[in-house]
Amino acid sequence: MFHYNQIITLLNIFDDQIYTTLSEENVSGTVNSFISSETILKYFSTREEFILSLSVYIQTIIEEKIESSQDILAYPLVRKIKSTKEGVEIIHDYKALQLYLHPYEQITILNSFIKAVFVNALSKYNLKADILYDLLTQNSLYSCTPESLKATLGINYTNSMLKMRILDPVESTIHKLYQNGELPFYISITVEKSLFGSGGKIIGVNFETNNHLAVLRLARLRPCHIQFITDKLIELLPFDYPFLEEGINQLNDKAV
């Protein structure tokens, strides 16, 4: 039985109080932050809920692969926490935090608790959920053939049943965990079908991992992006364009 975990709420408070105020230069190697009890209770019902979610967060390790030497460097995301009646002091490793906020292809974010939540939720689908987790968290975009996917995950369904029995339920389950605040990401799965034959044979499967911090970043930049598009429309179109602006406002943050 997993204990209370609201990693999404924790990321929301950290995004507001720490991430968006992070200095580009830090000679000390650490980022010291203090979050007051008053601020914590604006996000969490109790301090205990905050501490429980923080206990999940501090398990995060950042791995960086060095291409030139094939070495792997590992950084703890959090070096120390100190809880008092007034609030909680969190000391991040600066290098790890930068990589956590802006990962690239050589970065792997490890958290055994989050992985266990993911694997436990997918246990009923009879697939190698631990391998799927690694694929999704190490690649923001992952594409494969249905045959290779079935071989990798140990799935026995035919291609025609793959989407209904595995892909759709897995996508839905992960999205529910994200909405409940238990996973810091959700996934989108699309399939490619052959143009030939009846019903369209599945020839490819595409996974896209949507990290919550990227979602927050896009939402924060949305007003600037819309203003930029609007300014360009004014330059290009010598007539009224309210229908275009209305259409832009209806787009999601990623599309904008």
State the pLDDT confidence band at 243, using cuts at 50, 70 and 90.
low
What is the model's pLDDT at position 201?
85
What is the model's pLDDT at position 70?
81
**How many residues appear in the chain?**
256
Has residue 216 got a pLDDT over 80? yes
Distance (Å, whole) CA 253 – CA 256: 5
Say if CB 187 and CB 207 are below 8 A apart.
yes
Has residue 130 got a pLDDT over 70? yes
Sign of the CA dihedral running 82, 83, 84, 89: positive
- Up-side HSE of residue 52: CA atoms within 13 Å toward CB? 13
Distance (Å, whole) CA 204 – CA 202: 6
In this prediction, residues 109-122 reach a mean pLDDT of: 96
Distance (Å, whole) CA 256 – CA 11: 23
Burial (CB count within 10 angstroms: exposed 0-12, middle 13-18, buried 19+), residue 247: exposed
Residue 64 makes CB contacts below 8 A (sequence gap 6+) with: 72, 73, 74, 75, 99, 106, 107
| pLDDT tens column, 3-27 | 567 999 999 999 999 998 887 776 6
Say if CB 91 and CB 78 are below 8 A apart.
yes
| pLDDT tens column, 40-98 | 999 999 999 999 999 999 999 999 998 877 899 999 999 999 999 999 999 999 999 99
CA angle 162, 167, 172 (to 5 degrees): 150
Has residue 30 got a pLDDT over 50? yes
pTM score: 0.82
- Residue with the bigger pLDDT between 230 and 125: it is 125
- Mean residue pLDDT of the chain comes to 87
Distance (Å, whole) CA 244 – CA 95: 43
Distance (Å, whole) CA 239 – CA 230: 13
Give the CA diameter of the chain.
Answer: 67
Q: What percentage of the chain reaches a pLDDT higher than 90?
A: 65
Sign of the CA dihedral running 147, 150, 156, 158: negative
State the pLDDT confidence band at 1, using cuts at 50, 70 and 90.
very low
Has residue 100 got a pLDDT over 90? yes
